[in-house]
Structure 1
Amino acid sequence: MNIFNLGGGAGGTTGPDSAAMCSRKACRADAAWQLLWNNPKIHTPERRKVWLACGEHRDWLEDYLQTRGLWKETIPLDAAPTPGGNS
Structure 2
Amino acid sequence: MDSIEAVFEETAAPPDRPREVLDVRDLGPPNPLAKTLELLPELSDETVLVQRNDRVPQFLLPKLDDRGYVYESVEREADVITLIWNP
Query: Larger % of strand: which?
Result: 2
TM-score between the two structures when normalised by the length of structure 1 = 0.34
Query: Larger % of helix: which?
Result: 2
Larger Cα Rg: Structure 1 or Structure 2? 1
TM-score between the two structures when normalised by the length of structure 2 = 0.34
